[in-house]
Structure 1
Amino acid sequence: MSTINNEKKGSVPVLLLKTKSTPNDGYEEQFSQVRDGIEFTPTFVPVLEHKFLDDGMNVVQSFLQENRIGRHEDSKYGGMIFTSQRAVEAFAKLVDEGKDEIDWTCLCDVPIYTVGPATSRALKSLSQERPLNIFGAECGNGEALAHYMLHHYGEWYKDRPIKPSLLFLVGEQRRDIIPKTLMCPDLPANQRIQVDELVVYGTGVMGSFEEDFKVILNETKWMEYRWVVVFSPTGCEAMLRVLGWLDPETCKARTRGDGKIFVITIGPTTRDYLRNTFGVEPDVCAAKPSPEGLEDGILNYMSQKS
């Protein structure tokens, strides 16, 4: 867990409820710059604990070793989908472990779809002799990506009456908007795309999160503004409990404290989860799920309040 730099007492703390990415983290880089005369102090408070799941990992490994992902007619999959950095990390691990047994050129002949620039950047870092064909980074969310794929994937395999299946590497918790959209029975058969989801990692709340979050809140309690950035529904209840915003009996919102803590969500999924599950309305929902989108949302809110 990061701690607050006490030398930057005039800055605005931004408490990022996520694990810091390595070797570089785009959120740290974005919030380490002064914008509109405001200096932020980015601090990471890890919420999620991830573990790779052997069953799913072994299946993907066999697909890679047997060249089951590629453009040739007997390939099982004609492309892949990634919507989380953890899924990319799982894939990267398998690629690294099997680099002597994998025909990388097969992966370079198919489209690979991502949602958001962070996932796209993580995939690009895997490229070896030939770069991967990565698409969809600007879509912003799963629904937009699904509609983009219907057209793009259809064009990629326009010579085939039935499109090859897509392999979607996912975690235990995920939305089903992409498979539902691509496999919608209302679509003509020549447009429908089979999506096979394969769970390669699991997620839970880190045991130390609540205590770590309390420490950071105590260190920053005298500051006028504190922003809490929420990236996932997982951990929301623990966050609200530490903030003291929940009625312990009903598990619904009861107060917003002293008004010095503001909440911004990475996107509408997490916003709606806070709203519908706990009756908590975030102050801001980022227009784009990116470091720039979060900072823009915070700055716009603060300018309206000043």
Structure 2
Amino acid sequence: MTTYHNDIAAVDALHQSYIDIKNEISKVVIGQDEAVKAVLISIFSNGHCLLVGVPGLAKTLLVQTVADVLDLNFNRIQFTPDLMPGDIIGAEILGEDRNFKFIKGPVFSNIVLADEINRTPPKTQAALLEAMQEKAVTAAGYRHILPKPFFVLATQNPIEQEGTYPLPEAQLDRFMFNIQLTYPSFADELTIVRNSTGGDSMTLRKLINADQIQFFQQLIRTIPVTDNVLEYAVKLTGKTRPGSPLATPEVKQYVNWGAGPRASQFLILGAKCHAAISGKYSPDIEDVQAVAEAILRHRIVRNYRAEAEGITIEKIVKNLL
């Protein structure tokens, strides 16, 4: 593993690595800069991502490309109504020697793409819950540790909701970011069509490996944060709770449930990483604001009044900021 003289040199190295990785990914994934940035922040912060977007916005391509450039193992699980927990974590089978042995499932990978995660029943969704939180799975009474680093990048289609099983709040809370992918601009779509319909294939460089990622994850934890930034993050989370004295009139009027303490933790971790990849050695309030929407979006539950009046979560979060 590469060593650095001090934390400042290490942060500079993370900043340069981020620029190199982003540039390499942009050769294949066109026009999703904010989504790429959020995915990389979550990886360096040791978090998981939920990617929400209509079909054809390169969600799977984005995850595959990130895995390639970061030189990580990658598995894709297509979630369907008949998928069972054993199809994800693996199962005990009787071997030729008449002893049971554990056959690892696709969750034993550095990056797991849970494609259309809301298409499988809650029992199977829950199989992913332990893996995401504990970085381990339990089968036949034995605990199996997952490889490090380990990330779940799940996708969800916001349009077609027939035959889906909405993720429970407990599982949504495990995701650091909820990233909304949007349609590309006209110029970006021209580039996408030109690149994807030609004969040339792109070979990407592998820029960093699993050991370096784990080093950068530890580095993010050691970045100092001033008290005013900590207080801002905790107050921002408190403002989302309608029963809190910090709540705004809009939150009291339109929100049923606000974000929990995990949101405050992710706001600080995300702000630290956002500062580091921007070349700063300590986060400020602007770094918290930069990651806040994707962290709070899936942790606030609107009431019926908000739905009837067309008040979106995004609008509520923007007003809080």
TM-score w.r.t. length of structure 2: 0.24
The answer to which structure has the higher helix fraction is 2
The answer to which structure has the higher strand fraction is 1
TM-score w.r.t. length of structure 1: 0.25
Which of 1 and 2 has higher RCO (CA within 8 Å, sep 6+)?
2
